[in-house]
A and B are shown apart, each in its own frame.
Chain A
Amino acid sequence: MSLSGAKIIQPLCIRYPDMPVISDQAANCNTTSTPFLGSTRTLRRIQSVSAAQRRPASAIVAVADVVKEKKLKSNKNHLLTKEEGLEVYEDMILGRVFEDMCAQMYYRGKMFGFVHLYNGQEAVSSGFIKLLKKEDSVVSTYRDHVHALSKGVPARAVMSELFGKTTGCCRGQGGSMHMFSAEHNVLGGFAFIGEGIPVATGAAFTSKYKREVLKEADCDHVTLAFFGDGTANNGQFFECLNMAALWKLPIVFVVENNLWAIGMSHLRATSDPEIWKKGPAFGMPGVHVDGMDVLKVREVAQEAIGRARRGEGPTLVECETYRFRGHSLADPDELRDPAEKARYAARDPITALKKYLIESKLASEAELKAIEKKIDEVVEDAVEFANESPVPSRSQLLENVFADPKGFGIGPDGRYRCEDPKFTQGTAQV
């Protein structure tokens, strides 16, 4: 139902508030309850060609048309190659097994505090992040383990961080909600919702600044900001949509709409639940995609990231997805309807991708099983490593408050930094 290769038309849905809803599939949507409960609507048809001609001349046209042509021209009937498929599958399995292991470790007392798991949403992370380069940045929220893993942070480092050991990616000082990695350009990990969006916009601003002011001509780094449906009501989100569109920053705003903000249903909290509509209001394309289907997410991601890289500005992508577990491990998850959970469990992105890979003969059952086994070992090894790692020493408490060793503007040589004539770069005469 969700993945059937090239025969089905694109999953993209691009709409404009001024244009009437024309697709017949949308009309078939269950209008008594909104389609956001997910069961009745899986695909939406793309705008018809006549509608496309009525569009204003903006890059939104490119999104739909380019993808459409690519699909028709492709020789194979497949949406991705075997290597890509296996890479994405491995990444999704890693996310799932890692998060399940986190739950186990939490209930055994190895992990503590707030832990927010990503089960069910792997398609969004793998679909987007696997298309990035190492220099591209990712900014996330507290549900950031899998974003960090997809971006390349080793499972050992993430697991140790969660255990609070000194070998963690932040030496145990950050924790579950604050995954930072300068090497892999994971810029956090923020506990406040909406806090990461301006930071991501700043990272995109840097990319543009480096290109225009510092004249690093090939700097085309893209930033992805991941956040949820609850965040889409926050003021900072709108401030950044405005500024990103105003300054045409290379950023993609990815909304992981899993319909629930702890116990607050998206429909109870939002005046207009269709988040993708907020993009065009600020002058950027708003795209809605089925976030349980990694191939669709990947296609949309390709286009959005490509747009940002080419300098055409930001995109707002709403991924309709679902989290199989509660908001956090402390959440009893009583408010969600079991029938809804069952519906989405049937659309598990990993099962769907597995089915697709096997049916399109891209991979065999044995290969996939081998990957699963490998990941199991990786995660087991990560747990062992974390278990055996030392806890931070007492002296580590006061470290890293400032980048400046003594916090008094005193450099490593013991003299005041400000007295060092090389303290500021540059040779301009004043």
Chain B
Amino acid sequence: MGHHTNLLSYRRRLFQPSPAGDRKLISIYHSRPLFSVNSNLFCLIDESMWGIIRQNVGVTGGLSSQGLGNHMMRLRPVASAMRSYSSATKEMTVRDALNSALDEEMAADPNVFVMGEEVGEYQGAYKITKGLLDKYGPERVVDTPITEAGFAGIGVGAAYHGLRPVIEFMTFNFSMQAIDHVINSAAKSNYMSAGQINVPIVFRGPNGPAAGVGAQHSQCYGAWYGSVPGLKVLVPYSSEDARGLLKAAIRDPDPVVFLENELLYGESFPVSAEALDSSFCLPIGKAKIEREGKDITITAFSKMVGYALKAAEILEKDGINAEVINLRSIRPLDRATINASVRKTNRLVTVEEGFPQHGIGAEICASVVEDSFGYLDAPVERIAGADVPTPYAANLERMAFPQIEDIVRAAKRACYRSVPMSATA
């Protein structure tokens, strides 16, 4: 786990605030000399942008600043349409959103405590729990030894007696060492005890691939946890999602698996004043329609929502009006919203980063086939990560996970436009 520290310090160096003090991603594009881009940087700057640029320019590396600059100029309006709002709306990174949600819930309820590796003095492996130790003390922000099974079980035992633990896994890959407790003693206990003992626990942490972290640190666990009755599985995308869903998760009387995304932590999203209120909660089990459309439905969660939205922008130019659904909750899955959307558009593309077999797209496809078969005008297109353990090499890793052009191509296939089956780059 030592390389996590390296990645963090690397990030800290890259995310120095620009002179304006503004941490928006878009400003970093311009302040950085483009010829010094190395492959690792792709992970931090919007991957989709570079992917498209590379395809257009037809090179895999060593880009000339001028050529890219032209492309950047062309693409800038697209990016800024996503990000530039009037200065009156507040922007908040997902990291700050999670931190503020934890802070508020711990202040409101003394039963809430945080437990995990490096949550205290290190201020959180990804700085999500920054400042909480100073505010609430070491009894409520508990640094643990490297004992996932042990402290996950301790959290469950504490939850049996009415405390509300928030257990942080440094990444959900490490939750495999504790999965016995997440499933057997947390998820199943309310059922086994016939309602006598409920477990109001939250297991949270980054899920899915990051950038260049290799096979053992890149798996998406949405499908595994989403198949277990007794668990609620939430997948926030934006800062508002992060705040609302984490608060709902902490207040919920049942075990919640809260799958975040490491690459989203630094991304800023606008937040409404309502979302900043300390009693703001989002309902569990309801998806959000991020973009209304009438030609095709694209479902996604976590980081893929951003990709889907960008793909929708691209599809718009080709005359395809896409509806993007942010699932927000894998279990309970909002089948009603998905089916209603498919009945409207008649075509469906599901997007996820996890392995394809038995994945979330498979479940959504089955649900739609069961409930809205007559409404489908085309087979459901399922986009998932490649069926391989995640490679390390940057170009292989890029091929192993869905990119924006994959979503665009799949949408066009579903609309019966002729497109090549696979990526050409």
Contacts and interface: CB of A to CB of B under 8 A. Distances in A.
Interface of A: 137, 139, 169-174, 178, 180-183, 187-192, 195, 197-207, 209, 212-214, 223, 235-236, 239-240, 242-243, 246, 399-404, 407-410, 416-419, 421, 423-426, 428-430
Contact of A213 (B113, B147, B190): B113
Chain B contact-residue range equals 35 or more
B192 A173 contact: yes
B86 interface: no
A408 B281 CA distance: 13
Nearest to A191: B184
B184 A187 contact: no
A428 B153 contact: no
B111 A195 contact: no
A182 B282 CA distance: 31
Contacts of A428: 107-108
B149 A423 contact: no
A400 B198 CA distance: 9
Contacts of A399: 195
B150 A178 contact: no
Given A202-B159, A209-B163, A213-B140, A423 B251 contact: yes
Interface string B161-172: 111000000000
Contact of B109 (A170, A182, A424): A424
A178 B145 CA distance: 29
A214 to B, nearest CB: 6
A408 B283 contact: yes
Contacts of A137: 161
A236 B153 contact: yes
B191 interface: yes
Contact of B283 (A178, A182, A409): A409
A102 B333 CA distance: 43
A402 B230 contact: yes
Nearest to A180: B193
B248 interface: yes
A408 B285 CA distance: 5
Contact of B149 (A239, A401, A425): A239
Most central of A137, A189, A421, A426 by chain B CB within 10 Å: A426
A200 to B, nearest CB: 6
Nearest to B140: A213
A197 B150 CA distance: 8
3 interchain residue pairs of minimum CB distance: A202-B157, A198-B153, A418-B281
Contacts of A139: 157
Contacts of B145: 239, 242-243, 246
A205 B154 contact: yes
A175 to B, nearest CB: 8
Nearest to A183: B196
B348 interface: no
A291 B229 CA distance: 40
B248 A403 contact: no
A189 B194 CA distance: 13
B65 interface: no
B286 interface: yes
Given A198-B149, A199-B185, A400-B191, A209 B254 contact: no
Given A214-B110, A214-B111, A401-B229, A239 B147 contact: yes
Contact of A189 (B139, B191, B192): B192
Nearest to B282: A418
A206 B196 contact: no
Contacts of A242: 145, 147, 150
A188 B162 contact: no
B192 A195 contact: no
Contacts of A417: 248, 251-252
Most central of B105, B155, B197, B250 by chain A CB within 10 Å: B197
B163 to A, nearest CB: 5
Nearest to A246: B145
B343 interface: no
Contact of B153 (A197, A212, A426): A197
A235 B149 contact: yes
Contact of B184 (A182, A195, A236, A246): A195
B153 A180 contact: no
Most central of B111, B152, B184 by chain A CB within 10 Å: B111
Interface string B190-222: 111111111010000000000000000000000
B303 interface: no
B189 interface: yes
A197 B195 CA distance: 22
Contacts of A246: 145
B156 A198 contact: yes
Contact of A203 (B108, B149, B158, B250): B158
Contacts of B109: 424-426
B144 interface: yes
A351 to B, nearest CB: 36
B88 to A, nearest CB: 23
B160 interface: yes
Nearest to A139: B157
Nearest to A422: B279
Contacts of A191: 184
B237 interface: no
B284 A200 contact: no
B156 A209 contact: no
B104 interface: yes
Contacts of A169: 194
A421 B277 CA distance: 11
B108 A202 contact: no
Nearest to A396: B194
A308 B194 CA distance: 31
A117 B189 CA distance: 23
A403 B195 contact: yes
B130 interface: no
6 contacts: A181-B193, A206-B157, A209-B163, A243-B144, A402-B198, A403-B254
A199 B149 contact: no
Interface string B88-118: 0000000000000001110111110100000
Given A192-B184, A195-B185, A209 B153 contact: no
B191 A213 contact: no
Contact of A409 (B189, B191, B248): B248
A189 B103 CA distance: 35
